[in-house]
Structure 1
Amino acid sequence: MTASNSKSDAAVIAPAIVEPRWLVFLQVSASGSLSKAAAALDMPQSMVSRNIAQLEQQCGERLFRRTGRGVVLTEFGEQMLPRVTRLAAEADALADDIRSARGQPAGEVLLGLLPSAVNHLAGPLFAAVRAELPGVRLHLSEAASAQLEEHLREGRLDMAVVLKEDEASIGDCRVLARVPLHLVGRRGDPVVGAGGGGRDVPLAALSDLPLVVPGRPHLLRARLDRLAVQHGLTLHAAVEVDSVRLQYEVAAAGGGYAIASVLPGKLDERLASSRIVEPVLERFVVLAESPRRPHTRATLAVRRLLCNLADSLEAEGNASHRSSA
């Protein structure tokens, strides 16, 4: 999904400053694989190989050597990497200055969203960018948190809305929302409140319940495993389902209880939920940024709009919660 202004894109596209083959070199180095680099660059693997071969021919030295698991830098490649990285960063900054010469942020911004964030953020952000940042092209993609984080590491996204399971893992990310974990079951089930839910359930009550949880390795599953050890619980995974939507379907069919972040008023009418307490378990919705892509005026402007939108949604949610309490 891409938003752009009605003006010609040529008006905001800066000229290439670094030889594009060196950008391919950087992506292959980051990915450690020609196929992964090809996917990140959206080009055929044969073209990636040809670009690297041409660079090696020009340099008269090998940049990579193949291994059973992909490619690694040669000694010469290791020498080139930091210098090319610096040149690419400087080139990006210069290109940003060129694009923004008219005083308005311009260029493409690549943003990833969790499926649960799409309904809340995609439309309003698209509209805000179109209204306030006419020179910015917003490219949105949707994926699970782990996949979004991988795309950030590979430089395939500028930023992404992802989940963090605990405060220690937040780091420099901007917290957009704190969402408590709920036990989710079929409406009318006494475990989650026969009257439709809403009451709290202690963590200890989850022992021996049939749970509908993601399979290992998954951050939430790992967290549940740690909690079981810490609190001496026996958590029974009756069904392993990696998609929250599928977990809800299994729970609605009476197959067990899901553990998920539930926003007020957003739960399927077939389901009910109770907040898990003793202790309260929170997840953090955060805005994470790629370590491989430098900030531009466009990314900073979109980041500001996204954070303002998240703040407004949180304020509305708090007001709704107080009025229904």
Structure 2
Amino acid sequence: MELRQLRYFVAIVDHGSLSRAALVLHVAQPALTQQLRQLEDELGARLLHRSAQGVLCTDAGKVFYEHAQAILKQVADARSAVTQSTTRPSGSVTLGLPHSISGALALPLLMATREHYPEITLQLTEELSGNLSEQLRSGRINLAVLFDDGQLGAFTSTPLIEEDLMFICRAGSALDPGGASVAFADALGRTLILPAQQQGVRPRIENAAHAAGLALANVIEINSIAILKSALLADMGATLLPAAPLQDQVESGALVARPIHSPALARSVTLCASKNIPLTNAAAAVGRLVHQVARDLCERGAWRGAHLPK
């Protein structure tokens, strides 16, 4: 198996056809087809379904595509690590952000990277935290912002910020108990719109409820922040989330966010890297910048409900 075969395969999948990939790669299509056939013969599996409309990955092809991407990225990072300067880091860095974090952190980080490290190309990918963990483990991304749920032992991790969970509902909703804050037990008695069991803040909420001898009365499970926001505005339920992903609607008055007490709830946000794959100078520089930007956002109050770890 050769690196060029991996590059050819990834290009075919990315462009959706052998002919388009051949044009981009500047390789004759028969030669590209031959390399693909050799790769499939070596692996003993068909990687692509071919048709007049283009190509689609088989199940084996989907698995191989992820590994091929990871290998090619690590090769590119190895080259970059050898050639780049410690004083002027350059190259490509991929950082994974959970959906509920990107609204607060993504744009300020992109702007700071452009200002301080103009020779670094920062690529941000937005995923569910579980998907980001797998991508970080396989080397497809350099860094990831993850939530410390006690399951981050496979990574090197440093605390970033603490985010308070809030009771959030539509302004004027009958679900709103009013007052300056909401008791945790009172919040659990409402119809709640939450991520699925193993995503985002849900494990934190479930563990706190179990510790208090409480149970969630009625839960609507939605993993998408955009759909969850629409459901809140339609008054289908309330939620227990940090305010950041819903900050625009809270500031406009469309949604109301109230702190939770008895107990107060927060989640720990950490910056993680692989223990097995060294960071390039560029990735290390971006990691330091993530901490600086997060600190600045907290100190200015621009990251609503966030505070620095004690």
TM over 0.5: yes
Determine whether 1:20 maps to 2:36.
no
Partner of 2:81: 96
Distance in 2, Cα, partners of 1:156 & 1:49? 26
1:144 alignment partner, one of 109, 128, 136: 128
Distance in 2, Cα, partners of 1:250 & 1:97? 50
SS of residue in 1 equivalent to 2:206: helix
Once the 2 structures are TM-superposed, how far is the Cα of residue 93 of structure 1 from its aligned partner? 4.4
Distance in 2, Cα, partners of 1:89 & 1:147? 19
1:203 alignment partner, one of 164, 184, 189: 184
> 2:104, 2:244 within 8 Å by CA — same for their partners in 1?
no
1:110 alignment partner, one of 91, 94, 102: 94
* AA in 2 matched with 1:99: Q
Distance in 2, Cα, partners of 1:97 & 1:104? 13
Distance in 1, Cα, partners of 2:99 & 2:151? 21
SS of residue in 2 equivalent to 1:215: coil
Alignment of 1:183-194 (within 5 A): 183-189=167-173, 192-194=176-178
Distance 1:179 1:320, change over 3 A: closer
Once the 2 structures are TM-superposed, how far is the Cα of residue 226 of structure 1 from its aligned partner? 3.5
| CA displacement 1:62-87 (0-9 Å, x = unmatched) | 67789xx859xxxxxxxxxxxxx9xx
Distance in 1, Cα, partners of 2:75 & 2:111? 31
Alignment of 1:218-229 (within 5 A): 218-229=199-210
Distance 1:149 1:50, change over 3 A: farther
Distance in 2, Cα, partners of 1:319 & 1:157? 25
| CA displacement 1:277-311 (0-9 Å, x = unmatched) | 22221112222224564211111111112211111
Distance 1:198 1:160, change over 3 A: farther
Distance 1:217 1:93, change over 3 A: closer
1:179 alignment partner, one of 163, 167, 172: 163
* AA in 2 matched with 1:141: T
> 1:21, 1:52 within 8 Å by CA — same for their partners in 2?
no
Partner of 1:214: 195
SS of residue in 1 equivalent to 2:208: helix
> 1:193, 1:272 within 8 Å by CA — same for their partners in 2?
no
Once the 2 structures are TM-superposed, how far is the Cα of residue 183 of structure 1 from its aligned partner? 1.5
Once the 2 structures are TM-superposed, how far is the Cα of residue 231 of structure 1 from its aligned partner? 2.3
Identity level (%): 30
Distance in 2, Cα, partners of 1:133 & 1:281? 36
SS of residue in 2 equivalent to 1:317: coil
Distance in 2, Cα, partners of 1:44 & 1:151? 22
* AA in 1 matched with 2:243: V
> 1:193, 1:274 within 8 Å by CA — same for their partners in 2?
no
Distance in 1, Cα, partners of 2:6 & 2:245? 45
Distance in 1, Cα, partners of 2:198 & 2:134? 15
Partner of 1:301: 285
Distance in 2, Cα, partners of 1:185 & 1:89? 44
Distance in 1, Cα, partners of 2:5 & 2:261? 53
Distance 1:198 1:150, change over 3 A: farther
- How many residues end up aligned between the 2 structures? 271
TM-score normalized by the length of structure 1: 0.65
Moved more, 179-188 or 257-266: 257-266
Determine whether 1:161 maps to 2:142.
no
Partner of 1:230: 211
| CA displacement 1:217-257 (0-9 Å, x = unmatched) | 43533443343333222312342222233323323322221
Determine whether 1:256 maps to 2:242.
no
* AA in 1 matched with 2:233: A
Distance in 2, Cα, partners of 1:187 & 1:154? 43
Distance 1:221 1:121, change over 3 A: closer
Once the 2 structures are TM-superposed, how far is the Cα of residue 318 of structure 1 from its aligned partner? 8.8
| CA displacement 1:102-144 (0-9 Å, x = unmatched) | x521211112223343343333322332232232222222223
- Unaligned residue ranges in structure 1 (runs of 5+): 1-17, 25-36, 72-84
Partner of 1:126: 110
Distance in 1, Cα, partners of 2:196 & 2:245? 26
* AA in 1 matched with 2:3: P
> 2:243, 2:304 within 8 Å by CA — same for their partners in 1?
no
TM-score normalized by the length of structure 2: 0.68
Partner of 1:313: 297
Distance in 1, Cα, partners of 2:131 & 2:37? 30
* AA in 1 matched with 2:209: A
Distance 1:293 1:310, change over 3 A: same
